[in-house]
Structure 1
Amino acid sequence: MTNNESIKRKLITTTILTLDGVLQSPGTDKEDTTGNFSWGGWSVNYWDEVMANFMQNIMENPYDLLLGRRTYDIFASHWPHVKNDPVADSLNRARKYVVSQKDLKLEWQNSVTVTGDVVAEIKKLLEQDGPDLWVHGSGNLIQTLLANNLLHTMHIWTYPVLVGTGKRLFAEGTRAEGLKLVDCKIATTGVIIASYERAGDLKVGSFALENLPAEKRV
């Protein structure tokens, strides 16, 4: 989490993962087939009331969205066409900032492109008055936010599913650091919704005998 006193709003992520850390294509088999990924739709059969209530609670407050290009395209192909649904209404109403290497013509209402020096532009957004910025999916973007110490809270939904392959949220190159668990809920289907805040540098130690107090040695 950034300590910059000029920050006026938080950056919060909500990410759906398999137990082995994959976030690729949770909703349908057509979302993202990169690398011949064949397990698209792996999250569909686990939704329950606990998860619905959690999502409803976090979406009741005003928010803006910060999305990677692929996640934006997935959302934009679906949510504008969903009628009489409070989640759709909330997402359609929100202002959407889309991170891209080039300026884009965006059809989904209230959408603008974030390009150029993306980190600098995101910092400017955080320094403006406005609601918190939410990131859904967008694994590459989350890595950038982590590397630049910009995230405040991470909601990680871990499903009791193993797929063995696919894009992982915490891939090679993730910065080592500590996290603090601030909330945890368990769905009836076995999904664990854990909410973390960042806790600074990772602290390491050793259980080697020479490092234990004498009274704890066998």
Structure 2
Amino acid sequence: TGVIQPLAKLSAYLHKRDVLLHSDCVQTFAKIPVGVDELGADALSVSSHKVYGPKGVGAVYIRPGVNWKPVYPGTLHENGLKSGTVNVPGIGAFITAAESTINRMDAVYLKYQALRARFLEGAKTRELPVSLAVPDSANSHVLPHIIGCFFHSFEGQYTMLECNRRGICISTGSACSAGYHEPSNTMKALLIPRELALQFIRISFGCDTTSEHVDQLLDVFEDMMHEKGDHRIDRRIKTYGS
């Protein structure tokens, strides 16, 4: 959904109960500032491909003093953290990509905010039945480059296929759940009814996304609505003709 979780509050709550907090920060790394001291996280993980580096490379931060055990006993690589030969070229490429992305983080953030506003305003102007899974408000903090929403009247899988047919890539959830056609655990946790949860789509912006791309996506949605209306008209004509 793009919601930014209040990790500082969560970590403080958990630490009072001697519970460690690990956070998956792949979507926030190089998108917004991530300070381990401010967040209070005991561990966090980031991934290379989210900052335009090669796939299959990542990094984990573990706060000094936190005890951990290797997944596979007897591991020698990376101080016993992970087995297998270290991917030096991949790690080097990851570092280079991360530095490049972080150096333009503020400018790209403003760009994502503008693209998000363009999509939401365009959907409203065109009277498209689009609503946010987590509405924007003073109490919700979201990443501007992720729009989790419902395109009402259409299942997310159908919307995704129609967009793909026209050269636009969106998803119906995170990449981790690709191929899973039931409502996600996130939708269930938000207590979204199943029929509505199946209409969920996830739109993500990248550094190469332009306002023209956003308009093309809105065009597809508008075409889908017109095609749906034409289909209803055709059915009525056939019914009256018979």
Could you say whether these structures have the same fold, taking a TM-score greater than 0.5 normalized by the shorter chain as the test? no
Larger radius of gyration: 2
TM-score (norm 1): 0.27
Tell me the TM-score normalized by structure 2: 0.25
Greater helix share, 1 or 2?
2
